[in-house]
Amino acid sequence: MVETTSYFPLGQVGLLPREEMLETGRKKKRVSIGIPKETWRFESRVPLTPQGVELLVENGHTVLFESGAGEPAHYFDHDFSECGARIVKSRNEVFEADIILKVSRLSEAEIELLHSRQLVITLLSMYNQTRESIQHMLDKKVNALAFELLKDDNGCFPVIRSMSEIEGSAAVMIAAEYLSKAHNGKGVLLGGVTGISPTEMVILGAGTAGEFAARAALGLGVSVKVFDNSYRSLRELERNVGQRLFSSVLHPPALTKALQSADAVLGSLRYLESGRSFLITEEQVSQMKPGSIIIDLSMDQGGCFESSMCTDFDQPVYNKHGVVHYCVPNIASRVSRTASIALSNIFAPILLRIGEAGGIHQIIKEDMGISHGVYLYKGILTNSLIGNRFNIPFKDIGLLMAAF
């Protein structure tokens, strides 16, 4: 018997029946990204740095920069043009891009320039938003993504975390400024000196901002006390900081006593899904030491203190009950270049993924973190918090995508 060799082994080259194979590949989409100049004069950040622009351009995308958009962060037109961006002077031309990316929320004039199916990535600032603006965008049938609602693979909010890191560190520097005589403070050094009792700082909230504020303050020799209702958050803060410090749940007598001896109080509690609220009453503020300072890092959500009133960089502080209040909502803009780099590190990869997926429709299906940030899709509201706040009908984004 002669042994024969088959050049068509059974089951290897298709002799067995197989199911029909459909093409599963996706067509990469080249997109145009428009970066308009910020119209709010207290916003100094820019969402993409020249390095971020270069990354996008090298991957085939087009970036349109309105002339002068990067100057508040000390990035100039030639910095962006050398990295491949198109510098345009016409605001209307910028708003013709497939994707509009900016930091501060859209003004009514900017909403008017939007067109159907365009993707807008910007700050939502829910508690400073108006029903008219939301309805105007719904009428325009745009897709809108709130970058403060974006989630990463670990379920964290990357933009909030990054800006909180910056604001926590910056808040300690601000406290040092206003306690010194440079800003008519009582002339106290924020820190510790041999033979002198260290200054005391109370931090409300053991989240990211609280952690980085504690790091900076401890590095100066400040006596730090951290309060939070989450025992787990307090434990994680101590572990991340790498040393033991005074920490407590929000027990009213202990908190009141700490406030009375504090030189600086930082409020960094977040109320992302519970609406406006405050923790410290005006009566408690009135019992604080004269010349002490309050820095409220939660102003974009109503503030941590009953005595808080929103301020800006022109007049950042006011005095109430003998206590200095610093209540600027976008402290990260004080260090706009650092903040811009942090934002660009988040936005550039997201834009690349949107292009790789072939557009916003596919990336919403694939990425739960990005879909969590979408609040408008094809003229439909998909965020329950906005819908309940303004009494506008909304639909769940997951159910909506199943229908498309």
Residue 354's closest CA among 335, 339, 337, 369?
369
What confidence score (pLDDT) does residue 126 get? 82
- Mean pLDDT of the chain, nearest integer: 89
pLDDT digits (tens, 9 = 90+) for 149-184: 999 988 899 999 999 999 999 999 999 999 999 888
Q: Is 216 exposed, middle or buried (0-12, 13-18, 19+ CB in 10 A)?
A: buried
Cα diameter, the chain: 108
pLDDT above 70: residue 26: no
What confidence score (pLDDT) does residue 353 get? 93
**DSSP element (H, E) containing 164:** helix 158-179
pLDDT digits (tens, 9 = 90+) for 212-222: 999 999 999 99
Q: What are phi and psi of 230, to 5 degrees?
A: -100, 115
Q: Where in 139-253 does DSSP place strands (E)?
A: 143-146, 200-204, 223-227, 246-248
What is the spatial distance between Cα 318 and Cα 294, in angstroms, rounded to a whole number?
Answer: 10
Between these two residues, 120 and 271, which has the higher pLDDT value? 120
Strands 32-35 and 119-122, sheet pairing? unpaired
What confidence score (pLDDT) does residue 60 get? 95
Eight-state DSSP code of residue 183: G
Handedness of CA 90, 95, 98, 103 (dihedral sign): positive
Instruction: Delineate the domains of the chain, giving CATH numbers in brackets.
Output: 32-149+335-403 (3.40.50.720), 164-329 (3.40.50.720)
What confidence score (pLDDT) does residue 224 get? 96
Percent share of the chain, pLDDT over 70: 91
pLDDT digits (tens, 9 = 90+) for 305-327: 999 999 999 999 999 999 999 99
pLDDT above 70: residue 29: yes
Residue 117 Cα distances to 2, 100, 120, 132, angstroms:
69, 11, 9, 20
pLDDT digits (tens, 9 = 90+) for 323-376: 999 999 889 999 999 999 999 999 999 999 999 988 888 898 888 999 999 999
pLDDT above 90: residue 53: yes
Mean pLDDT (whole number) for 126-151: 92
Residue 23: band (very low, low, confident or very high) from pLDDT cuts 50, 70, 90? very low
CA triplet 187, 192, 196: central angle to 5 degrees? Answer: 75
pLDDT digits (tens, 9 = 90+) for 72-107: 999 999 999 999 999 999 999 999 999 999 999 999
What is the spatial distance between Cα 359 and Cα 264, in angstroms, rounded to a whole number?
Answer: 47
What is the spatial distance between Cα 404 and Cα 328, in angstroms, rounded to a whole number?
Answer: 42
Q: Are 248 and 227 in contact (CB under 8 A)?
A: yes
